[in-house]
Amino acid sequence: MGDGKVPGKVLDIKTADIKAAAPAFHQGAIDLSKALTALVTTLDGLGEPWGHDEQGEQFAGAYKPRQKKMESAAGILVLGLTSIHEAMVDLSDGHVDNDQLIAGMFTKVKSDKQSDGAGER
C-alpha cells in the first residue's frame, strides 16, 4: 500500500494487499476469543485460586472489581478485529467493482450499426 514516500502519491491501494491483510484480523479475533473464553472458564471454574492470604486478598481486591470490565474490553476487541476483517473484505470487493466500473466507462462500445454492417454500403 502507499507508504507516503513518493511525493504526490498519497494512496496506492492494491486489492491483493487488502485481501492478504484481512485474514490476519480474522485470525486475531479467533485467537483472542479463544484466550478470553479460556481465561473466563478457567478462573470461574477454579473459584478463587489466589487464596485468602495477604497477597491473595490484595490480588482479589484489584482483580475482582475489574474482572467484568476486562472481559468486556476483550470482547469489544474481538468484535473490533472482526469488524476490521469484514471491512477490509468489503473494501477489496468494492475496489475491484469500482475498477471494473471505471474500466467499463472507458471501453469503446460498438453501436449496432457498426457491428452488423448495416451502415456500410
Cβ atoms of 1 and 13 within 8 Å: the answer is: yes
Instruction: Enumerate long-range contacts of 81-86, CB under 8 Å, 24 or more apart.
Output: 81/25, 81/26, 81/28, 81/29, 81/32, 82/25, 82/26, 82/29, 84/25, 85/22, 85/23, 85/25, 85/26, 85/29
Q: How far is CA 33 from the centre of its chain?
A: 14
Residue range 37-58, pLDDT digits in tens: 998 899 888 888 888 999 999 9
Tens of pLDDT, residues 13-28: 677 888 888 899 999 9
Give residue limits of the domains in the chain: 15-106
Interatomic CA distance for residues 55 and 43, integer angstroms: 17
- One-letter amino acid at 100 equals Q
pTM score, whole prediction = 0.58
